[in-house]
Amino acid sequence: MPADTIERAVALAGGAPLVLDPVSVPKSSRAHSILGTLHAIKANLWEAEALAGAEGSMPPRGPACRGHRVGARDARPDGVRCASADGVFDLAAPRVRVVNATGAGDAFTAGIAHSLAVGLDFLEAARFARALSAITLESEHAVNPDLSLEVVHARMEMMAE
């Protein structure tokens, strides 16, 4: 979306919690003007750096989750690092049998958005999102047809740290 479309969507959202998935490093710059209005950002390491304007730092406003730097640019992250005004925490990647990775990042973003909309704190939102993403990874479909709140909560219990 162009920056002006993003700004218009934010204006129309009223007080609804807003979650950004910048999608790519080049597209990240389109969201600079709305960073202060966001409730959360789901970005990989390079998107987060582009939003922050400095390598190795988190976006300046709002909580965020991103993949850990683990060496090579195309290396797989071993979990997510989340940061908010309350501090920084890491969640390990769940052990799953990956059938299809399509939709896992979108599921994580949806999990954050849902959790914030129903009033969960950021740690519980990230745990919900991680469970939702794990369920998605185990399905041949981008949206697991067996998905329900009960299934996500059961997975969260299995993954409790």
The residue that leads in pLDDT, 75 or 137, is 137
pLDDT averaged over every residue in the chain: 81
Q: What does the DSSP 8-state code read for residue 138?
A: T
Q: What domains sit in the chain, N to C, each tagged with a CATH number? A: 1-93 (3.40.1190.20), 94-161 (no CATH)
Confidence (pTM): 0.77
Tell me the mean pLDDT in the region 149-156. 93
Tell me the mean pLDDT in the region 15-43. 85
Does an H or E element contain 81, and which? strand 79-84
122: which residues sit within 8 A by CB, 6+ positions away? 40, 63, 82, 84, 86, 116
Task: Look at strands 79-84 and 19-20 and give their pairing.
Answer: unpaired
